[in-house]
Structure 1
Amino acid sequence: MAMSLAIVLQSALLFTPVKQEAVKQLDTGMLHPRVREWAYPINRVEVPDDSPCLLWPGVKGKTVKYKVILASDSLFNKDVITGAEQRWAVYPLHQSLKPGRWYWKYAAVEKSGAKWKWSPTYDFVVKKQAKNLFVSPTVATILEKSKAAHPRLWGMNKGADAFYTNNKHNPEAKAFVVATSKLLGQELPEEKPTRPRDTTGMNALQRKQMVEFMYHGFGEKVAMPIRNLCIAFQLTKEERFIKEAIKRAVHVAKMNPDGLATRDDFNNGNIIEGLAWLYDAGFKYLTAEEKNLLKNTIGIRGQKIYEGLPNRFELQMCDNHVWQHIMRNFSIAAVAVASELPQAHEWLTYVYEIWSARFPVLGTNDGGWHEGNGYFRTHYETLIYLPELFGNISGVDYFKQSWMQNLPYYMLYSYPPNSTSTAVGDMHENLGGTVKMQAIFADALALKVNNPYLNWYVSEIRKSKPDYFKGNDDFQLFRLLNFNPKATKPVVSPSALPKGRVFNDVGLAAMHSDLAHTGKNLTSYLMANPFGAAGHGHAAQNAFTINYKGKKVFGGTGFYSNFSDAHNLLDYRSSRAYNTILADSLGQRIGEDGYGWMPRFMTGAHIQYALGDASNAYGEVTTDFWLGRFKEIGLKADKNSGYGNSGVKLYRRHMLQLDSNYVVLYDELEAVKPVKWTTQFHSPFNMNGKESGNALTQSFDLTTGLGHVNAAIYAHTPLQMSIHDKYNFPAKNWKGKTDDEDNVIEFKDQWHAGISTANPVQQNRFLTIIQLKNGVVEVVKLLNDVNGLYHLKLGQWEIMAELNATKPASLQVKSANENSVFSYGNRPVKVKSKVYEHRVKGSSMLIELKNNVINKQEVVDSLPDVVNFDAGFKRK
């Protein structure tokens, strides 16, 4: 899908009044349902390219089959495309369509011989310029290519000699062979826990989870040596490696598929990949008996995985475990045994079709990832190896797709080198600085996406973390496959890039003062996510994170103790853990219906700006998945737990970063009834409240060691402040979880501040001014306050904010030299004796002057791509 940008009103038209609505509203239960609920594309939507994938909601049943028909006329007589019967609810076209209107429908049948039930006829439009440069070949072509002689994985049937020759003098290849040779003659692995734990005193649920935890990684432990021995054989052509691999694979193939050690999908997936490696790479060295053993074991284990996929997996927003690892394992196995194991024909068809239709599953085009960077890392191997695998077969360079090309910018802006990240989503707390997985993934990606800023990103990490790039790791094979000592990698500092960037598809605005120098950088993030609080995402709509000099100052708190234990549900995953708004102490929904979106964004030389909308994020928890998680541990998603219907119907948060020292927040809030509004602040650093002689203002300082930090909060109604260092439910590392360096994580208390309206009010506005300085923070001077219209002075900046919620919202920020001016609302603004009007009432406008040249930007709300292109839900 084409990347959506805020609607910019060009400067040439700036002073011409136009009739246009600045503010857009969404009126739908969710934008990305957990399970697909409507067909796509429909309602004459203009699709972003000429080779769309057809999607539709599934019909219940394990034996359901579907078929599709598509034509350029509603009677299905012209340019007809008819799909074969299939078990899954996606249909990639694998061809370009001519411009114009197209019609399609699908049919389902639950039992063989029953009557097909057809859907209504849907339609969409292909525009003339909607050319897709990455049309993938048909399934028939892929299946024919899969009949290649062994070894066929990674194109070795044609490229084995080149792989051998190319790596003959590669130091990393030599080191890999030396390391792998240590496996020769070792004892065969036993089926026992990889990380034993004492389960004394645990309840039944905890004990079940702990057993899974104890065997986690067993499949990789026993399968990875087989894979490495096969690679060593291909690097050296020395039979000792393949013979050792055969011995190990035969041993592993005889393990019980239903035993504790290998029965879960993670372990099972690794097992079948390891066996597939040996079957493919060692094919001509295997006896007929060994081939049959491997094929039968792959067949049993693979079918166990496959039967849980069709008519379920492709319908899910994201089944994380499958996308993270199992689909990669399963796809490698399907390619390895295709044409020789009968069921593998269907396996390969399925994974190729789902990859074609759904990649990237938690993003669209902008390079972002819905769940945040903590859990993004668990997908890295698949995101590197499956494009390589399917690219080898299809001839499509998936690394040239828009999402891949934008991924370096997402990494750079959301997780700068040698800095902490966005502090949102599961496992965010493990990213206090650059971790090894991030470094080596970036390095691997740079082999295919030769982006000069990505090359800079990797080079910066290499300077500070050289040990990350030594020894064996998950991307070593990828580097060996793509080793090219003659390749040139231009390295360009991001200094000349815009200071900020928005990732609308995942609702992230990133603002930096100095991208190129972490030690000087002030970073502000605003999150408003169209995917909602789904999967490993959190109820953090319109939450902000502020990092200073590479360290988190304000951000999400708590720890990933377990996916859904009491600390997770009552703190870590909930809005209570984020710098966002509570209403009557209630937070946002968890689930896909608790979503936000990013209507506006602008970036300039001195002022950066984002607007997030979380008006749809509040209400009762309604999804069965999450209600079941509460019930499982004896909790209710009620007011005692911080959930429920607070009646919030408007929450728009404007966020500005001013140069390298100030962040300004302006919140517009409204509920269906009076509520107590609370704006929250969370930090790993000690908070100290400051006495205020004005009940309309509250402030506190942070003791950081990074400099001086102060937050001041203003409203047009009396405020109260509460500061403490306790969670709603204690954080306890009951699993003994470890960080990336295998150190047991200490679950520490952190600091929390809540500034609340003293009395319930139906409408409210907060103005927050945060200072982060090396020197002493400045006193915010109140120049005027006329019935809620605050006029403040802070250093070289003046701020005017309308906090009286009965009057139209307005915010203006101006530098003392008037070279940088921001205005939201409809008030005219004066710059260098010249008055500028808003072209659209309620727009946001940024005016900056440099070398006597005026740069003007004016934006109104722009809907996310999922709304622009997926018209299956109501909107207004």
Structure 2
Amino acid sequence: MKLSYLKYILFLLAATRAYGQSATPLTVFLQTPKPAGNSVIRINPVVLMWPYRKGSGITYDVRLSMDSLFSREPVWKARELPGAMYNPHRLLEKGIWYWQYRVSGKQWSERLKFLVPENAVSVVSPAPEKFLGGIPEGHPRILADPGQDFRSFAKRAEALAILKEAEQALSVEMKTGSENLNPKAGRDSLTALQEERRQKDAVVRIGHRIRNTVIPLCQGYLLTGDPRYRDKAIGIAMQISSWGPGGISSQSDFTDGISMYGMALVFDTFHNHLDSEKKAQLIRSVKVRADRFYNHWVNNIESKILSGHVWQLLLNEFFKTALALYGHEDKATEWLSYAYELFLGRTPVLGGIGGGWAEGASYFRMNIDMLVDIPEKIKRYTGFDFIASHPWYRNQADWLIYQVPPGGSADGFGDNTEELSTPPPFFAAYADVMGNLLDDSRFRWYLQKMHELQDFDLATEPVLRWHRLVHPTVSSEKKPGDPPRLRMGRVFPEAGVASLHTDPLHPGHDIMVAFRASPYGAYGHAHADQNTFNVMVDGKRLFFRTGYKVAMNDPHRLGWSMHTKAHNGILVNGKGQPYSIEAGGRIRYFLQGKTLAYVAGDASGAYKSKEKSVDSGLRKFLRHIVLLKPGILVVYDELEAENPAIWSWLIHSLGHMTIDSAGNGYTGRTGSITGTGKLWSSAPLSWSLKNKFDVPAVSYRSSPGKPGKEYSNDQWHLAATSSAPTRVMRFLSIIRIQRDNNQIIEVRELPGSADDAVVIETAGWKISANLSENLPLSLRIGSASEDVIFSLYDTEIKAGNRIFTGQRKHGPKLWESTREGDKLFEAEDFISDF
């Protein structure tokens, strides 16, 4: 059915746009179907998803049509789908579409609809049957195609690193039982969870040993044909196959996954060298584990917002395992079809299309191989290039540049980012591969900058090493990119992160302010840190979140580093945000010019969760962040509660801090870099400064021959707390950032400043803000040269005798006078525009 142009326009005007994010809290499992309502899709075709129904053997039917009655052809139908997800695998015509789903044989759902606009990005993947039909009959399939010879690569740098590891693997003995744990070294006070973690570490180490032996042995054999590598790899695989499927490997899904994949890789790589008995034994042992994963995932994982281990390693291992056994085990067809559909239907998990990554820079490493390996096989067997088709991959270049800048600290959000004082080499490996696959100079520039500012050998980095070695492309290291045109800021609203920079093109001389307000809340490896920020100067951390991820259930992580109190955020009545995906935030506004960049987040729903039966009574929390060149940071907070509350404004530093409670000032230092801040508020404050965690970080995890991590408990924590409960609170903080301790940036309060309003001059900027709840919300910033004016809620901007009025009556506005003329920018509202 053709859609009239008028009807299309009316629908488009009525629809909520999909360029931002919904204000509805997310849940662990999908509770409402999507797309639905007035959704406007961004990817064509859209993947249909709905709440799954628990139960063994549940399947689903779905139908899709431009006819609301499903009576006119074409009506696209699918029956007995194993999971609550459907990919049409064909381009949808522009217009309104209708769809329904049901448990097979039951009643259809309500009629759902969405709109396909003209500008939807085409990502049309082939049906799984085409993928299965492209798989060669012979072996190997995982590391190579049948008949490929890689012996000419044996002298390349990556190959030499692999062969070194293969030689080391020859002397490794695979233990069948759990390893003897290191003694507690007198720490009898470990909790039951800490001791359980130590036991699990021993099981995980078995998996690491399998990974670090079987993979280089198989790769080494393909590079050299050395029978020692073959015989050792086969021996390890047969030993694993003798382990009971309910034994030691099953105590960790990571170890179970690599046990399964290790055997499948040996089966695939040495298929022509195995007798029928060994093949049968490997298939039996692999099948038990693969079936266990499949039965646990199907009709579950496709509806779950995130299952970290699945997307980190297990899906990739499961996909390759099914590929190896395809044609030899009947169930492999089912496994492989499911893995194919799951990957295409949900990738990138937590990323959207903007290039962001919601779970933090450190754990991105665990996903990289999967993000490249599976699309590479799909492209090889079908010709469809998912990486080139999906905009998320190309937009990842900006996420790397802005959130994980070369030579300096990552943004600080998520577990283990405390360890990323500089980007590890796996980011270089990823940038190298993406620079080639997408022919994108931004990835090449990133790699080039990493080499300029850091010392590392890319050839020894195991992430994507085999891919870099066997694909005949020119390394991005030898094909440097031109410097990209980088503006001050970049926002990734779907993931909920952003960063502002004074000079992102030169990360060694750049002030970076990272910000998080994410719809994914405190889930997985993400923290309870909505509307928090971190400040880095020339790559060094000035004001930065504190604490460590000792272990997921460690008392320090649960009682400090994951908690809001460890971050530069807000406490309500001494309480932070609950550990729940429902406790999310949203990037609200974003604006930037040549000398000013601005971002705002909405964490109004971040202090409550039905899942955790928590509600702090907070009803509004908007945080506005403005970075001014050369080095002024402005933070303006709007807070309201249902009842009068005690408010705590927090800021932390890994280095030394001091406070001037009489002058409402504070100072943080790292090396010769100083951040001097002053805090104003709508109510009197009391100040506290300490340099100890509420819950100490204790080192108790270690590996044989390696000492456990040592943790510094001397990080600094400042809290400015309202002296009495108030229902409404406003904070304004201005931070002056200096690279030389002898440099002084003065702050001068101008006539007109009072308790209810502040007018400031500093570093060539005039800043005014209303603080009293009896005054309208207001933040205005103007340059001394009067060529830049920022206004938060004014309906118009006055520049001299001229008045500039935007299309949005109330909302952030930025006016600049440039050589090209006057320009007025208005912030897009990422929530109301979803």
Q: How high is the TM-score relative to the length of structure 1?
A: 0.87
1:623 Cα deviation (Å)? 2.2
Q: SS of 1:123's equivalent? A: strand
2:183 partner amino acid: D
Match of 1:680 in 2: 650
Match of 2:362 in 1: 374
Identify the range of structure 1 (472-481 vs 728-737) with the bigger mean alpha-carbon deviation.
Answer: 728-737
1:523 Cα deviation (Å)? 0.5
Work out whether residues 676 and 761 of structure 1, in 8 Å CA contact, stay in contact via their aligned partners in 2: yes
| In structure 1, C-alpha distance between the alignment counterparts of 2:619 and 2:647, rounded to whole Å | 13
| In structure 1, C-alpha distance between the alignment counterparts of 2:734 and 2:454, rounded to whole Å | 36
Match of 1:651 in 2: 621
Work out whether residues 644 and 726 of structure 2, in 8 Å CA contact, stay in contact via their aligned partners in 1: yes
Q: How does 1:437-448 map to 2 (within 5 A)?
A: 437-448=426-437
1:506 Cα deviation (Å)? 1.3
Q: Quick check: 1:321 aligned with 2:306?
A: no
Q: 2:462 aligns with which of 454, 473, 479?
A: 473
Q: 1:298 aligns with which of 286, 304, 311?
A: 286
1:178 Cα deviation (Å)? 5.2
1:118 partner amino acid: W
Q: SS of 2:431's equivalent? A: helix
Q: In 2 relative to 1, CA 224–357 (structure 1 residues): closer, same or farther, beyond 3 Å?
A: same
Deviations 1:215-243 (A, max 9, x none): 21312312442222222232234444333
Higher relative contact order (CA 8 A, sep 6+): 1
Match of 1:11 in 2: none
Q: How does 1:94-105 map to 2 (within 5 A)?
A: 94-105=89-100
1:129 Cα deviation (Å)? 4.0
Q: Quick check: 1:311 aligned with 2:299?
A: yes
Work out whether residues 542 and 673 of structure 2, in 8 Å CA contact, stay in contact via their aligned partners in 1: no
1:483 Cα deviation (Å)? 3.6
Match of 1:782 in 2: 749
Q: Quick check: 1:121 aligned with 2:115?
A: no
Q: 2:244 aligns with which of 244, 256, 281?
A: 256
2:27 partner amino acid: P
Q: How does 1:209-358 map to 2 (within 5 A)?
A: 209-261=197-249, 263-358=251-346
Q: 2:183 aligns with which of 198, 201, 213?
A: 198
Q: How does 1:387-786 map to 2 (within 5 A)?
A: 387-400=375-388, 401-471=390-460, 473-485=462-474, 490-492=479-481, 494=483, 496-619=485-608, 621-623=609-611, 644-692=614-662, 698-736=664-702, 744-773=709-738, 774=740, 775-783=742-750, 784-785=752-753
1:685 partner amino acid: G
Work out whether residues 149 and 157 of structure 1, in 8 Å CA contact, stay in contact via their aligned partners in 2: yes
Q: In 2 relative to 1, CA 47–849 (structure 1 residues): closer, same or farther, beyond 3 Å?
A: same
1:180 partner amino acid: A
Match of 2:135 in 1: 146
Q: In 2 relative to 1, CA 764–131 (structure 1 residues): closer, same or farther, beyond 3 Å?
A: closer
Deviations 1:165-202 (A, max 9, x none): 5x266343245335524544x36422255683335734
Q: In 2 relative to 1, CA 84–149 (structure 1 residues): closer, same or farther, beyond 3 Å?
A: farther
| In structure 1, C-alpha distance between the alignment counterparts of 2:93 and 2:266, rounded to whole Å | 45
| In structure 1, C-alpha distance between the alignment counterparts of 2:391 and 2:484, rounded to whole Å | 23
Match of 1:88 in 2: 83
| In structure 2, C-alpha distance between the alignment counterparts of 1:709 and 1:131, rounded to whole Å | 44
Deviations 1:262-302 (A, max 9, x none): 54210111112111112112111111111111111111121
| In structure 2, C-alpha distance between the alignment counterparts of 1:71 and 1:437, rounded to whole Å | 44
| In structure 1, C-alpha distance between the alignment counterparts of 2:412 and 2:703, rounded to whole Å | 19
2:639 partner amino acid: L
Work out whether residues 501 and 511 of structure 2, in 8 Å CA contact, stay in contact via their aligned partners in 1: yes
Deviations 1:665-693 (A, max 9, x none): 1111111121122211011122111153x
1:369 Cα deviation (Å)? 0.9
Q: In 2 relative to 1, CA 418–97 (structure 1 residues): closer, same or farther, beyond 3 Å?
A: same
1:443 Cα deviation (Å)? 2.9
1:121 partner amino acid: R
1:393 Cα deviation (Å)? 2.8
Q: Quick check: 1:863 aligned with 2:831?
A: yes
1:157 Cα deviation (Å)? 2.6
Q: In 2 relative to 1, CA 745–849 (structure 1 residues): closer, same or farther, beyond 3 Å?
A: farther
Work out whether residues 439 and 468 of structure 1, in 8 Å CA contact, stay in contact via their aligned partners in 2: no
Work out whether residues 733 and 747 of structure 1, in 8 Å CA contact, stay in contact via their aligned partners in 2: no
Q: How does 1:133-212 map to 2 (within 5 A)?
A: 134-146=123-135, 148-153=137-142, 156-157=145-146, 160-161=148-149, 163-165=150-152, 167=153, 170-177=156-163, 179-184=165-170, 186=171, 188-193=173-178, 196-198=181-183, 201=188, 202-212=190-200
1:190 partner amino acid: K
Work out whether residues 689 and 718 of structure 2, in 8 Å CA contact, stay in contact via their aligned partners in 1: yes
1:261 Cα deviation (Å)? 4.5
Match of 2:769 in 1: 801
| In structure 2, C-alpha distance between the alignment counterparts of 1:385 and 1:220, rounded to whole Å | 20
Work out whether residues 63 and 99 of structure 2, in 8 Å CA contact, stay in contact via their aligned partners in 1: yes
1:854 partner amino acid: D
| In structure 1, C-alpha distance between the alignment counterparts of 2:627 and 2:541, rounded to whole Å | 16
Work out whether residues 29 and 304 of structure 2, in 8 Å CA contact, stay in contact via their aligned partners in 1: yes
Gap runs ≥5 in structure 2:
1-15
Match of 1:843 in 2: 811
| In structure 2, C-alpha distance between the alignment counterparts of 1:428 and 1:308, rounded to whole Å | 31
1:592 Cα deviation (Å)? 1.5
Q: Quick check: 1:360 aligned with 2:351?
A: no
| In structure 1, C-alpha distance between the alignment counterparts of 2:423 and 2:20, rounded to whole Å | 38
Q: In 2 relative to 1, CA 151–106 (structure 1 residues): closer, same or farther, beyond 3 Å?
A: same
Deviations 1:786-818 (A, max 9, x none): 562221111311111111222221111111111
| In structure 1, C-alpha distance between the alignment counterparts of 2:504 and 2:707, rounded to whole Å | 30
Gap runs ≥5 in structure 1:
1-20, 110-114, 628-643, 869-876
1:544 Cα deviation (Å)? 0.9
| In structure 2, C-alpha distance between the alignment counterparts of 1:658 and 1:150, rounded to whole Å | 59
Q: In 2 relative to 1, CA 494–818 (structure 1 residues): closer, same or farther, beyond 3 Å?
A: farther
| In structure 1, C-alpha distance between the alignment counterparts of 2:194 and 2:810, rounded to whole Å | 52
Q: SS of 2:35's equivalent? A: coil
2:669 partner amino acid: T
Q: How high is the TM-score relative to the length of structure 2?
A: 0.92
1:348 Cα deviation (Å)? 0.4
Matched residues, percent identical?
27
| In structure 1, C-alpha distance between the alignment counterparts of 2:22 and 2:75, rounded to whole Å | 36
Work out whether residues 567 and 730 of structure 1, in 8 Å CA contact, stay in contact via their aligned partners in 2: yes
| In structure 2, C-alpha distance between the alignment counterparts of 1:653 and 1:487, rounded to whole Å | 40
1:97 partner amino acid: L
| In structure 2, C-alpha distance between the alignment counterparts of 1:863 and 1:592, rounded to whole Å | 18
Q: SS of 1:404's equivalent? A: helix
Identify the range of structure 1 (467-476 vs 652-661) with the bigger mean alpha-carbon deviation.
Answer: 467-476
| In structure 2, C-alpha distance between the alignment counterparts of 1:448 and 1:737, rounded to whole Å | 37
Q: SS of 1:157's equivalent? A: coil
Deviations 1:359-394 (A, max 9, x none): 001111111111121222222222232222333233
Match of 2:4 in 1: none
| In structure 2, C-alpha distance between the alignment counterparts of 1:587 and 1:403, rounded to whole Å | 32
RMSD (Å), alpha carbons: 2.7
| In structure 2, C-alpha distance between the alignment counterparts of 1:589 and 1:859, rounded to whole Å | 30
| In structure 2, C-alpha distance between the alignment counterparts of 1:475 and 1:49, rounded to whole Å | 27
1:485 Cα deviation (Å)? 4.3
